[in-house]
Amino acid sequence: MDWLESITRDYATNERFNLSVSGGNPILRYSLVGSYYGEQGIIDRDKSQDWSSTMRLQRYNMRSNVDIDLTETTLFRVNVGGYLQDDRRPPQSIDHLFNMAFETPPYVHPEQYSSGEVPVTPERSNPWALATQTGYQRGSSSRLETLFEIEQELDFILQGLETRFKFSFDRYSANSVTRSKSPDYYMPAIGRTDDGELDLTIYQYGQQFLDHSTGSEWGDRSVYVEGSAMYQRNFGLHNVEGLFLYNQRHYDNGDMLPYRNQGIAGRASYGYANRYIAEFNFGYNGSENFAEGRRFGFFPSIAVGWVMSEEEFMYPLSSTLSNLKFKASHGLVGNDDIGGRRFAYITTIGETGGYNWGVNADYHRAGRWEGDYGVPNLTWETVAKTNVGIEIELWHSINIQADYFQEQRRDIFMQRQTIPSSTGFITSPWANYGKVDNQGVDISLDGNRRFSDDFSISVRGTFTYAVNEIVEQDEPSTIVGTHRSSTGHPVGQLFGLVAEGLFTEDDFIDVDNGILHPDIPDHTFGPVRPGDIKYKDVNEDGVITDLDRTAIGGTVDPQIVYGFGANMQYKNFDFGFFFQGNARTDRIIREGSSYLIPGAGGGALGNFYSNVDDRWTPENPNQDVFWPRLADYVHSNNTQASTWWLRDMSLLRLKNVEIGYNIPEEILDRAGSKSARIFIRGENLLTFTDFDLWDPEVGTNHGFRYPIMKSYAFGVNVTF
């Protein structure tokens, strides 16, 4: 790594530097790519006593690809890649630090008194002290990825026959050193002494020196072996292709037993006059997750295509409609990932926690009972996939693909919900029971146009819409057919109460005691007052309870995903960008945290967001506000999952933008180089969304997570 480090020291301070080198001859071809990630400060270091106020990351990436022609018919390929990474961070997780910072209001106490004491509220945390006064953790990790492949043409046996053998070995490992301590914490000062000093009381004594501990991860390692034979031959207007493949994988991540899979696959295809195409595929896959006799599944598929533009009657349109293809396919695929469980066909033994006996109950023995019930007839989850599509090319420069797909997922592995406790199962058994249908469209557009030798443009866009529906599942009989049933809704459908606005004084007979008018349903999640959320009595039983929960909004997973971008080149300059977006994605933002509402934890929990003024108050009894009535306690009525907290999380993000310059050939000739390009790249620079309290893509209902970072990179690509 010395050569790379020496190059990057001058250019990569707090930035990222990339370098690639490639070259070769007819016998040996190679490419070498390296990159370096420099130090990045995450939290400003502004106090001399800080132990961990900066998070640093140094990473060296390396990838080497070498192709060697051993003979005229034998190719040997070696690809080796990986990285070495060192980091320094606080001893707590970054998500935990953000969680504490979001929960703790700034008025509870200062981060540190001017005299040096660190305050803390009992049973709570001082976020600044956690991040800067508790030590640090140094980590080191490495990953190695290898691929060895040999290709052998066998034309001397059968023309068009070729074999390949692949061997891959990957490994990851990590270790860490933690130097941590707890500082002295003081109760927040509530006054001053007679001599004017802060009246401070020790809450918890800490440590003067840092502790030392080491940790390590098992990491993971994977060994993959694949052998295949391929055949391709043209017989006049007839084209015939075939493939037969065997593969197996051994993956060990430190679990009780390694993961192992093996299988065979085959493909046969026929084409006539480049117009009519038919293809048959099959997979015969084996998994350890099923009992003997059920471990292998057979999954066939068939596809047909018609290249209409190759028909003679289409030739007059060839300059405009350069390609027109219709295609269709149907097949079966299998899934052996059964709810994250392994060997579910075997009944397990669980622990009861033991039992005591004797006069003083001083005799103890461990207890055992039946754990998970084994499912001997457990089998593969299957998906029947059907796809029809069209491909269009216009003027040899614009390509459009549109596909309609339909999937029927069957034998979904799930835990039973309707087994009565009288059957004696400690935990409900699992079974291949569920059914889900999925359908949608997938559209892509590519365009390339060269206007002159100096100027060209290429564009690309993609759009995917998919929606699914639960056809069958094991729901309790009390839910089946009611508004609380998720059958008939998408997987992951959000459920909650329906908010009808905020209570007003006119809704109460007695405001001080919270007594509602008789015609208003009784709210049972706690006392209510004007400004609290009013819910709809969905089941019309006169009270608001969990039985009024119903489907609201959509799902967290977006139903629409799209992207578009362009690349332009003018003389030696090039410019490119790519936008990525999603739509029809919702979240119930409060769910999972009682302290999202400002001040909800006795005033010491629940931080204030940038829109804290957008709230109900007696002086501003507005129904169209973000926050209902705020209180210095967890108000259970206002923290219920409901349409009040339902938010559209759709977004459009400028994923990357890049500007580059290709150094002129006359300069490269003097340097002995074939090509060289300098570029500047930015990632995640702009985000457009109606929800602006936190980045919708961080994947939380409360924002208590490290945000997605903007990044900038400078790089050089050189070819010799």
Read off the pLDDT of residues 242-259 as tens digits, 9 standing for 90 and up.
Answer: 999 999 999 999 888 899
Q: Give the pLDDT of residue 22.
A: 63
The percent of residues above 70 in pLDDT, for the chain, comes to 92
pLDDT classification of 463: cutoffs 50, 70, 90: very high
Integer-rounded Cα Rg, in Å, for the chain is 32
Q: Where is pLDDT greater, at 561 or 31?
A: 561
- Of the candidates 638, 612, 623, 597, the residue with the CA atom closest to the CA atom of residue 504: 623
State how far the alpha carbon of 270 is from the alpha carbons of 277, 294, 302, 330, 458, in Å.
Answer: 6, 33, 12, 17, 33
**Residue 624 is encoded by which pair of tokens?**
């169209």
pLDDT classification of 19: cutoffs 50, 70, 90: low
604-634 residue pLDDT tens: 778 878 888 899 999 999 999 999 998 888 8
- pLDDT of residue 224 exceeding 90, the answer is yes
Whole-angstrom distance, CA of residue 524 vs CA of residue 542: 11
Q: Is 560 within 8 Å of 582 (Cβ atoms)?
A: yes
Whole-angstrom distance, CA of residue 447 vs CA of residue 460: 6
Q: Is 576 within 8 Å of 565 (Cβ atoms)?
A: yes
Q: Give the pLDDT of residue 706.
A: 80
**Residue 652 is encoded by which pair of tokens?**
């459009």
User: Which one-letter DSSP state was computed for residue 5?
Assistant: H
- CA angle, 496 then 498 then 504, to 5°: 130
User: Which one-letter DSSP state was computed for residue 113?
Assistant: -
- 3-state SS string over 614-657? CECECCECCCCCCECCCCCCCCCCCCCCEHHHEEECCEEEEEEE
Q: Give the pLDDT of residue 231.
A: 97
Question: In DSSP terms, which residues pair with 225 in a beta bridge?
Answer: 167, 248
- pLDDT of residue 39 exceeding 80, the answer is no
User: Which one-letter DSSP state was computed for residue 592?
Assistant: T
Q: Where is pLDDT greater, at 329 or 427?
A: 329
Q: Which helix (H) or strand (E) holds 561?
A: strand 560-570
Q: Give the pLDDT of residue 667.
A: 79
Q: Is 14 within 8 Å of 39 (Cβ atoms)?
A: yes
Q: Give the pLDDT of residue 11.
A: 27
Whole-angstrom distance, CA of residue 261 vs CA of residue 259: 7
Q: What is the mean pLDDT of residues 508-524?
A: 92
**Residue 599 is encoded by which pair of tokens?**
């001040």
Q: Where is pLDDT greater, at 495 or 26?
A: 495
Read off the amino acid at residue 21: V
Sort strands 455-472 and 430-450 into parallel, antiparallel or unpaired: antiparallel
**Of 13-22, 264-273, 454-463, the least confident:** 13-22
416-448 residue pLDDT tens: 888 887 888 888 888 888 999 999 999 999 999
164-215 residue pLDDT tens: 999 999 999 999 999 999 999 999 988 888 888 888 999 999 988 889 998 8
Sort strands 296-307 and 368-370 into parallel, antiparallel or unpaired: unpaired
Residues in Cβ contact with 616 at an 8 Å cutoff, skipping those fewer than 6 apart? 502, 531, 622, 625, 627, 628, 629, 630
Predicted TM-score (pTM) of the model is 0.83
357-405 residue pLDDT tens: 888 888 888 888 888 888 888 899 999 999 999 999 999 899 999 999 9
Q: Where is pLDDT greater, at 6 or 171?
A: 171
Q: Is 209 within 8 Å of 133 (Cβ atoms)?
A: no
- pLDDT of residue 8 exceeding 90, the answer is no
- pLDDT of residue 306 exceeding 90, the answer is yes
Mean pLDDT, rounded, of the chain: 87
- pLDDT of residue 540 exceeding 60, the answer is yes
Whole-angstrom distance, CA of residue 221 vs CA of residue 258: 10
Whole-angstrom distance, CA of residue 184 vs CA of residue 207: 7
- Of the candidates 435, 298, 295, the residue with the CA atom closest to the CA atom of residue 376: 295
State how far the alpha carbon of 691 is from the alpha carbons of 90, 502, 560, 645, in Å.
Answer: 30, 22, 17, 12
pLDDT classification of 36: cutoffs 50, 70, 90: low
